[in-house]
Amino acid sequence: MSKGLIGASSVTIFVDFLSSKLEAALHQAVVDQVCIDIANEMRQNCPQLKESKINLEYHLLKDMAEKEDFSRFWDYISIPKYFFQNYIKTCVYNYCRDNKLIKPLSEKRLEELKSIVLTAISKATTTALTSLTNNKNPEESKLSKWLDVFCEELEKCLKLPRNTLTHMEDEEISDMDLLQESLTKALATSVENISKKFASAALVDLRNAKQQPEDSLFTLLSGCWEQCPFCAAICTNSIEGHSGDHSVPFHRPKAVYGGWWYKTDHFVIDICTSLVASDCSIVLSDTHRVPCKQYRKAGPKYERWRILPDDSELKYWKWFVCRFQKELEDKYQRKFEDRGKIPYQWKQIKKTEIFDEL
């Protein structure tokens, strides 16, 4: 067999091997990037996901009031972090539901990556040829140099580690132009294969992504999830594990979280901000009470909350208590009676009024 033919078959073996690795890496990079693109697009186009957790929370409060579904309120009050996560997941699902989004996004990314790979092929070939002319280390193969440059060029956008290709670097390839030509052809086929995979791709086809769109959106819209020990309002700080006190601009009637008067089955309808100014006590046990005015001394759940005595309150939660009086009574097995009787004025609040406040 002539030397030329050995060279040509080496190129084929090498190109087959490299392009299969490259195709897998390209596919993964497109999947990862499309997930980022979906999240970014949603941040632009979905008003509820545009800003921060507090903006999303107001949106959710409006949405829940519109739908008047107690089970959603219940999840929001009892498992807020999961509730927000789940809501974002549903948003992503709805946004991608018609399957028209993923194809164009993937095509754009694939095109960009293709051009980056072509540049890398060309740069690697030129460098390998130049190094051949001034080779100070004849032991080092041209192909090894070629692979060094190729992998380095792709490092930022593809996962194609140089050390996974070491066993190929001793292939006897000297015709760099043939290598460039063959690899360019193989790349076109790979791009076609990947493009076909995305032609009717749905969200489920992106499940191997480094990060799902809902996860990156949740990270951006997350924050502190501590809840007020009296009323379960969520701290509005945008940093999870933040220093300093937890706080929230509006507290709620304690009954929302099931609070009741000691030795009765009557709800507490007072709001935390008035409770902390009252002469009431937090009953930790029959023998251990802490005055509400010194609530921070009632244990770890209380000590980091800043609840200032004032009269800020939302009509929203008064409306909620009236609208879901029966559901709350059933859920917590308590009654709105006696000191927990719902004031007449609360029952006059119209739904339109609560929307004005949000």
Contact set for Zn ion, span 258-277 (CB under 5 A): 272
Q: Residues touching Zn ion: how many (CB under 5 A)?
A: 11
Contact set for Zn ion, span 96-125 (CB under 5 A): none
Closest approach of Cβ 237 to Zn ion, in Å? 4
Residue 288: CB partners within 8 Å, gap ≥ 6? Answer: none
Closer CB to Zn ion, 56 or 201, in the complex: 56
Closer CB to Zn ion, 213 or 259, in the complex: 259
Closer CB to Zn ion, 179 or 232, in the complex: 232
Closest approach of Cβ 289 to Zn ion, in Å? 19
Closest approach of Cβ 114 to Zn ion, in Å? 46
Closer CB to Zn ion, 185 or 297, in the complex: 297
Could you please report the per-residue DSSP string of 122-150? HHHHHHHHHHHHT-S-TTS-HHHHHHHHH
Closer CB to Zn ion, 302 or 336, in the complex: 302
Q: Which two tokens stand for residue 139?
A: 């032991």
71 closest CA partner among 62, 83, 59: 83
234 closest CA partner among 47, 89, 83: 83
Report how many helices (DSSP H) and strands (DSSP E) the chain contains, helices first.
14, 2
Closest approach of Cβ 98 to Zn ion, in Å? 38
Closest approach of Cβ 224 to Zn ion, in Å? 3
Contact set for Zn ion, span 199-258 (CB under 5 A): 224, 226, 228, 230-231, 233, 235, 237, 246, 251
Cβ proximity of 21 and 164 under 8 Å: yes
User: For residues 282 and 285, what is the distance between their CA atoms, to the nearest angstrom?
Assistant: 9
User: For residues 267 and 151, what is the distance between their CA atoms, to the nearest angstrom?
Assistant: 67
Residues near Zn ion, by CB under 5 A: 224, 226, 228, 230-231, 233, 235, 237, 246, 251, 272
